[in-house]
Amino acid sequence: MFHSNDNSSDIVTFTKAKNITKSEFMQALKLAMHQIPQNSDQNILTQNNIRELVLSNLISTHVLEQLAHEYNLTLSTAAVFKFIQNSKAFNNNQNFDINIFRNILKNLHISEPQYFDQATKQQLSEILLHQFINNNYVPSILTKNIINLSAETRNIQLVSIDLQNEQLQSTLDSPSSEQLQEFYNNNQSKFEKPEQRHISYIVLDNNYFKNKVIVDNKSLEEFYRTHSDQFSEKNSFTKNIAEVREKYVNHQVDKLFNDTITLLEDEVASGSNSSEIAKMLNVKLLTLNNVTKQKLANNKILSNVTDAIFALEEHETSYPLDVSSKMLIIVSIQKIIPSAVEKFDNVLNQVQEEWKKNTIRERNIELLNKFQQTTNADNFIADAKKYKLTVKPNVIVTRLNNNTIELPKEFVEQLLTLKKRQVSNVYISTSNQHAYVALISAITTDRDLTTKFLSLTEDIKGSFKNLIYHELVTYLYNLYKGEVK
């Protein structure tokens, strides 16, 4: 996401609010990673997902902090302490545990003053958020309209065409050399050899961290004494030995994982590449040559970080990429071979094939356009059959996407704006090479859905308030001229 090696550099700037530094972002990221439970579905999030969420939260905190400053709003030290003590991350049997608090901060390399400052900002922004949301009144008529719209059901007659269907265009004249040359000139991106990269990388998987853990009775007994409340059999180390070993190993793996992230960040910041880091850690250096973005996206290990790898510059080394639970990757870009358009003579056969596919596609679109312009509600199905188009006479669409067949979202949105007996515009899908036209044959309200939504009125109001909150943050971000570097 960010390529500068300077931890003090700003990654988001504002004209009035405090800028967000890279070191602040990395601290928040460590905390977020620590707070994700090991068995949580959140572990399948890619690193970019987590980074984007952390950055979004930091932006919200900074703009709300500035808003609080403009209104001279502050928090007492006691209020912040209470906020920290109520955090579940630091609780033991629902009570604040100072040892857990200090151990977590120690493992994350965050000082108590740093965390206190971060907690102050977070608590202040949460108070502002709570006040803003709860003081926004959502009229009942608005909720009722949302429910009615959500429960609206439309019956449509659907006509479609496969844009690659050659049978509807059985007679195609062979293209001239001039036509092929013109097509090549106008569509050079189709004949482009994609960018290729030579990369070297290291992989530190869960086994790497497990193999680093030294297990002996002294360590296990000490761990048990410190965490005895977590075990089913109280006051019996012997009866809990298997569970103690498992939890001890997991605890040590977590610590090693976080320590390794910090170590690797420091190494990359000081200019080390993947080869030097591999030697330091005594792990195998892996390489991939002439790899394209598409090929890398199919790589079993690197697929989740493809975008991050292709965002790096030549000779640049990535910061630790967390591709899955307890797996770290460091990547160095050895060489970048830029994309290049192949010469016409070298791809003549491909040009001919692409010209044919494109011509068939254009003619099929023309056919569907002609049908749409000449048909009406009374003859819709009959006209479609004359044109040899695919017909589905009774399809149901709703705003909730529980449609009888899968249709492109943008096309469904168009259908939901039409009145009864109206014919839609031609919709050309880019995802499945089909084009569609539909007639609205009936508009009804699903009573079961209406009843269900009425029971969720408060949830609907809450969602609407959250939407207003996000609009506020966006407004403040633009007001303070926020910019991601």
Amino acid at 411: F
Confidence check: pLDDT of 40 > 50: no
Mean pLDDT across 467-482: 87
295 and 357 share one domain: no
User: Do 296 and 365 belong to one domain?
Assistant: no
The pLDDT tens digits of the residues spanning 154-201 come to 899 999 999 988 876 667 888 999 999 999 999 999 999 999 999 999
Of the residues 322, 338, 354, the one at which a domain ends: 338
The answer to the question of residue 369 being in a domain is: yes
pLDDT, greater one: 38 or 321: 321
Averaged pLDDT, 464-476: 83
Q: What pLDDT score was predicted for residue 38? A: 43
Radius of gyration of the chain (CA): 30
Task: Kindly state whether residues 109 and 199 are assigned to the same domain.
Answer: no
Instruction: Provide the domain limits for residue 222.
Output: 195-338
Q: What's the rounded mean pLDDT across residues 82-87?
A: 85
Q: Do 377 and 300 share a structural domain?
A: no
Would residue 52 count as lying in a domain? Answer: yes
Residues 203 and 303 in one domain: yes
Distances (CA, A) of 89 to 51, 76, 85, 241: 20, 22, 9, 25
Q: Between these two residues, 470 and 292, which has the higher pLDDT value?
A: 292
Helices 241-269, 217-226: axis angle to 10 degrees equals 90
Q: Is 188 part of a structural domain of the chain? A: no
Tell me the CATH number at 32: 1.10.4030
Identify whether residues 293 and 205 lie together within a single domain: yes
Closest CA to 285 of 208, 204, 202, 207: 202
| Confidence category of residue 234, pLDDT binned at 50, 70, 90 | low
**What mean pLDDT do residues 309-320 have?**
94
Whether 1 shows a pLDDT value over 60: the answer reads: no
Domain count, the chain: 3
On whether residue 454 sits in a domain, the answer given is no
Mean pLDDT value across residues 334-358: 94
- Residue identified by tokens 């005594």 is 282
- Scored b (16 or more CB within 10 A) or e, 59-68 reads bbbbbbbbbb
3-state DSSP assignment of residue 214: coil
Q: Are residues 176 and 254 in the same domain?
A: no
Strands (E), 210-313: 286-291
Q: What is the pLDDT of residue 34?
A: 65
**9: DSSP letter:** S
Are residues 21 and 78 located together in one domain of the fold? yes
Check pLDDT > 50 for residue 213.
yes
Evaluate whether residue 451 is within a structural domain. no
